[in-house]
Amino acid sequence: MLERFTEQAINTVAESQEYAIELGSSSVGLEHLLYAIVKEAKGISLRLLKNADITLEKIDDEIRRYVSQSANRFTQIPFNTHYKEILKKSMDLANSSGHQNILYEHLFYALLSDKSSNVARILEGFDFDVYKTKDILSKLVQKKQKKLEHPEGEEKERKNLVDYIYDNSGVAPVFDRAISKLSTSEYEILGTEQIIASILEDKDSSLAKIFEDFGVTPETFDEQLKSISSRNAEYDKKVVFTPKAFVAMNLALQTAKELGSSKILPEHIALGILKSKNGIAYEIFDKLHVDEDELINAIVRPIEKQMPETLVILKLAKEEARRIGKKVVGTEMLLLGIISEGAGIGARVLNKLEITLQDARKIIESQLGYGDDYFDNEILFTKRAKAVLEKAWELAKSKNKERIASEDLLMAITSDSSALAMKVLEQLGVDAVEIKYGILKEIDR
């Protein structure tokens, strides 16, 4: 079920677990979910809570009056029955509102509908209108469409993450070993610790040797794992990953694309877990005093030495965004990256169509203007840019290629006529048909 949750909804579930652990609770309940709802609130939901003078500090004080606390700190604790019912109700709400994904708002609405916990009593202590809030949330989920400052604001429907993971031959052996560990334990779901333990089992792999250089071996990892309390059953058995492992897998998938790979490899999974900064495996790395930045660099360095086209293009695209003071990479920056790379099929096709970097830059600058975000190191991708990466990924996989190439990116751009990159190309006198023909001609040479 978690594969349908948006990032904000996953973060809310994970935050409720963290809060329950902090309080020393024996299970995760709806009071913990209420705390997470307040902490993760954004936009209209945040304003509704602020209007009732509900802050994180105040809700924390109220919850502690109703929830028993203990000095015991369990690493993983199960959801109680009421919490599981809210998760199911959130899924039902998503289905009835026509949403593919389960949103934060579905969780919030479902929680406000509960009458069996202390949540209603806690909210009664504030000037909080439950019925008005539910009405607003209901309208939000019926026609929710997040707007971005960047022109490319629409999100393309994504393929199920679990399908991506299991369709990938690059990590099939890792997950086969990881899942087999579940049958010899009390676990029902796959966590980061089983995944890393499985990676370490392949002692001859270059990734396992990198971990060993940082003091992470099967023996040291297993020793630390034994000191952590086992995870009890938390979810329906249909759920494959814990929330923290699911976040890590999402990061692994995105990392694979951004590094130009058409497969998810163990290296991408390891990077996803390190980037998530969460989960049992990450906790063990911390106990083993692993320098995570150095480990990330050690894993990425061999990949960068290969310098796949897409990695170069994405780096150039980010540089183009910084050049005009933007922290957002859209399809137009991907186009500039393809042109700047110069050597790939994509660049050659555009060059033959007399598309120059200077001309493309001029049109893009007139469309976006200049910003002042150049000092910000974090560069974000628009939803359309992510959709282009996803389409390029699928094109590369369909041709059984090891890596995403510039022509895959350019072909993916032509598949979306409303993308800013295509509007730029049209202003330069080129259409999708010419580009596709040029790509096919270059490939056949």
Residues 393 and 409 sit within 8 Å (Cβ to Cβ): no
The DSSP symbol for 232 reads P
Question: Which distant-in-sequence residues (6+ apart) come within 8 Å of 200 by Cβ?
Answer: 208, 211, 216, 217, 218, 221
d(CA 445, CA 269): 37
* pLDDT mean over 165-171: 58
d(CA 257, CA 426): 27
CATH top-level class of 2-142: mainly alpha
Q: Treating both helix axes as pointing N-terminal to C-terminal, what angle do 218-226 and 280-287 enclose, rounded to 10 degrees? A: 110
The pLDDT value recorded for residue 38 is 92
Residues 401 and 377 sit within 8 Å (Cβ to Cβ): no
The pLDDT value recorded for residue 322 is 80
- Collapsing DSSP to helix, strand or coil, 294 comes out as helix
d(CA 436, CA 373): 35
The DSSP symbol for 147 reads -
Q: What pLDDT, in 10s, does the model give residues 112-164? A: 888 777 888 888 888 788 888 888 888 777 644 444 455 555 444 444 555 55
Measure Cα distances from 57 to 21, 38, 53, 60 in Å: 17, 10, 11, 5
Answer yes or no: same fold for 161-306 and 309-443: yes
The pLDDT value recorded for residue 172 is 64
d(CA 77, CA 28): 7
Task: Report H helices in 325-382.
Answer: 331-341, 345-352, 357-368
Q: What pLDDT, in 10s, does the model give residues 350-400? A: 888 888 888 888 888 887 777 655 444 567 788 888 888 888 888 887 887
The pLDDT value recorded for residue 146 is 43
Long-range contacts of 174-182 (CB under 8 A, 24+ apart): 174/198, 174/199, 174/202, 174/266, 174/269, 177/201
Token reading at 33? 């979910």
The pLDDT value recorded for residue 164 is 58
CATH top-level class of 309-443: mainly alpha
The CATH code for residues 161-306 is: 1.10.1780.10
* pLDDT mean over 408-425: 85
Output the average pLDDT for the chain.
Answer: 78
Nearest to 214 by CA among 284, 146, 276: 284
Mean pLDDT is lowest, of 55-69, 113-127, 220-234, 283-297, for: 220-234
* pLDDT mean over 224-237: 53
Mean pLDDT is lowest, of 120-129, 189-198, 237-246, for: 237-246
d(CA 207, CA 191): 19
Mean pLDDT is lowest, of 294-308, 355-369, 383-397, 416-430, for: 294-308
d(CA 213, CA 190): 26
CA 156 to centroid of chain Cα atoms:
15
**Domain locations along the chain:** 2-142, 161-306, 309-443
Burial of 351 (C-beta count, 10 Å sphere; 0-12/13-18/19+): middle
